[in-house]
Amino acid sequence: MSVNTIILDWAGTTVDFGCMAPVEAFKKAFENKKIELTYEEIREPMGMLKIDHIKQLLSLDKVKKQWLELYGRPSVEADVLSIYQDFEKYLFADLAENSHLKPETKQAMKKIKQLGYNIGSTTGYTKEMMNVVFETAKVEGYHPDYVVTPDDVDSLGRPYPFMIFENMRYFENHSMEEVIKVGDTISDIKEGKNAGVLSIAVTEGSSEMGLSLEEYKSLSKEEMERVNQLTAEKFYQHGADFCVKNLLELAEVLQEHSTIQKLRGKKIETVFD
């Protein structure tokens, strides 16, 4: 059965190289509570529904200890909501500015559409957040056929598979074998695997890599290759079927492998130049 639907993530995959907007907003929101987190700790749950992401961070032993020392009690639901309100405030302050397309997105999406694929999408952003991101991306030339947020599936976002299933309903897919999920976080991979579809990870500009566009461009060609390979290795450890550096390489893979049978059942080596 031929693949006909590609479901893409947003921040770190198609827009916002390095997935910078939510990372900075999480950091500031926790700093408001006098909780210090590293960027690596903040990125670990990336891709989840944002309020679930906050709960994951609050469950870290380090954070639980800090919270108890500061406030004399464990965090409660009201604290989660308070941090989330601050997170939203910081995120919306510069979300549009941090939702520009990644360098290859427009060209890659044109090629993928020319190959005849449906282009769906899932995200960890709420519908209100996605309205901002979508409009910025649309102005720059990218607009997928369908957008699903956790709000559309009763807040059962990643790693639940329901946003993928909602895309499949919209595109009237007959089988999981018609669908490929593409993303830049471990949560994306888990979402795809839980849905039973092929899961491809994008390394360059991913949240998992954790570098801004400026930081990445400052690397030598050899350093770029190394960080891409290290990021791919982590994705493979968490179940990715295979990895590509960017969306143009994804388009090449889709053009070369026209049916799901050619992709399933074997792990294709990372497609890096």
Residues annotated within the binding site for Mg(2+) are 9, 11, 184
Lookup result for tokens 């995200």: 123
DSSP per residue over the chain, as a string?
----EEEE-SBTTTBSTT-HHHHHHHHHHHHTTT----HHHHHTTTTS-HHHHHHHHHTSHHHHHHHHHHHSS---HHHHHHHHHHHHHHHHHHTTTT-PBPTTHHHHHHHHHHTT-EEEEB-SS-HHHHHHHHHHHHHTT---S--B-GGGGTT--TTSSHHHHHHHHHHT-S-GGGEEEEESSHHHHHHHHHHTSEEEEE-TT-TTT---HHHHHTS-HHHHHHHHHHHHHHHHHTT-SEEESSHHHHHHHHHH--SHHHHTTS-PPPB--
Residue 145 among the catalytic residues:
no
Catalytic residue, candidates 9, 86, 188, 241: 9
Residue 9 among the catalytic residues:
yes
Catalytic residue, candidates 27, 33, 50, 245: 50
Residue 156 tokens read as 């059962």
Q: Which residues are annotated as a binding site?
A: 9, 11, 184
What amino acid positions are annotated as catalytic residues?
9, 50
